[in-house]
Structure 1
Amino acid sequence: MGIYKNGRDVLPPTLLKQVQQYIDGELLYIPKQDEQRAGWGELSGSKERLKDRNEAIYQAYCSGTSTDELERVYFLSGESIRKIISKLSRVTS
Structure 2
Amino acid sequence: MKYVNADHVFPEALIREIQKYIQGGLVYIPTPKSLHKKWGENTGSRQLLNRRNTDIRNQFEEGSTIDDLVEKYCLSQESIKKIVYTKS
Tell me the TM-score normalized by structure 1.
0.60
* Counterpart amino acid of residue 79 in structure 1: E
Larger radius of gyration: 2
Give percent identity, aligned residues only: 32
Report the secondary structure of 1:5's partner residue: coil
The answer as to 2:31 corresponding to 1:31 is: yes
How many residues matched?
85
Name the CA distance, whole Å, in 2 between partners of 1:79 and 1:19.
54
* Counterpart amino acid of residue 25 in structure 1: G
- State the 1:5 CA deviation: 0.3
* Counterpart amino acid of residue 70 in structure 1: L
Mean CA deviation greater in 37-46 or 64-73: 37-46
Residue-by-residue CA offset, 1:31-86 (whole Å, 9 max, x unaligned): 3873xx77654564433332221111001112222222211111112222122113
Name the CA distance, whole Å, in 1 between partners of 2:19 and 2:76.
45
Q: Partner of 2:79 in structure 1?
A: 80
Matches within 5 A, 1:8-87: 8-16=7-15, 17-18=17-18, 21=21, 25-31=25-31, 34=35, 40-42=39-41, 44-87=43-86
Report the secondary structure of 2:78's partner residue: helix
Name the CA distance, whole Å, in 2 between partners of 1:66 and 1:47.
25
Q: If each structure's helix is expressed as a fraction of its own residues, which one has the higher value?
A: 1
